[in-house]
């Protein structure tokens, strides 16, 4: 886990795009150390590789979109979540359409494919971003924050006025194992009235019961029901893991969110980067020293409690 990782060999898959409704072919290839995650539109400029980074986020409406020089790829959060959750630092993702294929609406198919081809360590050490001081953003009643921690932790709370969802919260210490066992199978979800509204306007054209949990006014309409009782909040965590990976390195800190989404997740990363006194970077060789420093920090518990409206 100390060294950067990439795929042992390339993999391919096909599925529809959630918003475009088009069949999309995707190939994921190994990449060199320090390359990061690179995206390629094979139906556009095949030679242009778009680096996955906060600077290249062009839209956060309904999904996270990465673009550069007029070329963009949307709905990247699930594959980025799988990479982050499984510790993959470097890869090239090629698609022949405008978005990443939705698969079953979760990151499970990506995780299964990554496990099948396997990953390998590379010659360079990972670099970590270590949160040293709390950072907070809000918009309306939604808010998100980072506080120091000796690992990457997530505490997430959602609240919907729907009888099948209500209030859900979940806490996770991220590792390959916890991601695969607890998070990656959680599917995206939406409300039937919203899906019909979006499809009437040319959006969510690929959405179906095969790739999303759909709710009408009172219940879940998928015959198979939920994969876990807290699948809704777990999917929000899945999305957040993908969004937070836009910072370009693993995070050592505690992400705490209440009703957050793609836009607010990106806002928090920008706020963090703008205050360099609140974070530092380290490799695994000197990260223990940073842990010891973190243990001396006193973060008032009320700040965490307020952040999640406990």
H or E element: which one contains 22?
none
Homologous superfamily (CATH) for 128-187+227-308:
lpxc deacetylase, domain 2 (3.30.1700.10)
Specify whether 262 is catalytic: yes
Cα separation values, 230 from 166, 177, 251, 259, 304, Å: 10, 18, 25, 15, 21
C-alpha–C-alpha distance, residues 95 and 269, integer Å: 27
pLDDT tens string for the chain (310 positions)?
789 999 999 999 999 999 999 999 999 999 999 999 999 999 987 889 999 999 999 999 999 999 999 999 999 999 999 999 999 999 999 999 999 999 999 999 999 999 999 999 999 999 999 999 999 999 999 999 999 999 999 999 999 999 999 999 999 999 999 999 999 999 999 999 998 888 888 888 999 999 999 999 999 999 999 999 999 999 999 999 999 999 999 999 999 999 999 999 999 999 999 999 999 999 976 666 655 555 544 444 434 444 444 3
Homologous superfamily (CATH) for 3-125:
lpxc deacetylase, domain 1 (3.30.230.20)
Give residue 115's Cα distance to chain centre. 18
Its pTM surpasses 0.85: yes
Q: Which of 143, 262, 275, 309 is catalytic?
A: 262
H or E element: which one contains 254?
strand 251-258
H or E element: which one contains 30?
strand 23-30
In the chain, what are the domain boundaries? 3-125, 128-187+227-308
Binding-site residues from annotation for Zn(2+) = 78, 235, 239
Binding-site residues from annotation = 78, 235, 239
Q: Do domains 3-125 and 128-187+227-308 have the same CATH topology?
A: no
């Amino acid at each position: 886990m100390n060294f950067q990782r990439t795929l042992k060999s390339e993999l391919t898959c096909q599925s529809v795009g959630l918003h475009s409704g088009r069949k999309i072919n995707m190939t994921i290839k190994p990449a060199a150390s320090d390359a990061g995650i690179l995206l390629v539109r094979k139906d556009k400029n095949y030679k242009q590789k778009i680096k996955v980074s906060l600077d290249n986020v062009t839209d956060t409406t309904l999904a996270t979109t990465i673009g550069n020089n007029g070329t963009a790829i949307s709905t990247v959060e699930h594959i980025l979540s799988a990479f982050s959750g499984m510790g993959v630092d470097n890869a090239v993702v090629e698609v022949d359409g405008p978005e990443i294929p939705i698969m079953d609406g979760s990151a499970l198919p990506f995780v299964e494919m990554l496990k099948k081809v396997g990953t390998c360590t590379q010659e360079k050490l990972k670099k970590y971003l270590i949160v040293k001081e709390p950072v907070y953003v809000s918009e309306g009643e939604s808010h998100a924050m980072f506080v120091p921690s000796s690992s990457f932790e997530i505490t997430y709370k959602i609240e919907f006025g729907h009888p099948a969802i209500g209030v859900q919260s979940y806490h996770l210490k991220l590792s390959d194992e916890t991601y695969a066992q607890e998070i990656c199978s959680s599917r995206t979800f939406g409300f039937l009235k919203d899906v019909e509204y979006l499809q009437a306007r040319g959006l969510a054209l690929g959405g179906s019961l095969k790739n999303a949990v759909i709710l009408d006014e009172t219940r879940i309409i998928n015959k198979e029901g939920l994969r876990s009782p807290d699948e809704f909040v777990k999917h929000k965590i899945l999305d957040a893991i993908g969004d937070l990976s836009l910072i370009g390195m693993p995070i050592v800190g505690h992400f705490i969110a209440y009703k957050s989404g793609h836009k607010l997740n990106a806002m928090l990363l920008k706020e963090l980067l703008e205050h360099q006194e609140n974070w530092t970077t380290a490799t695994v060789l000197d990260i223990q020293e940073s842990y010891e420093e973190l243990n001396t920090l006193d973060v008032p518990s009320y700040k965490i409690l307020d952040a999640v409206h406990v």
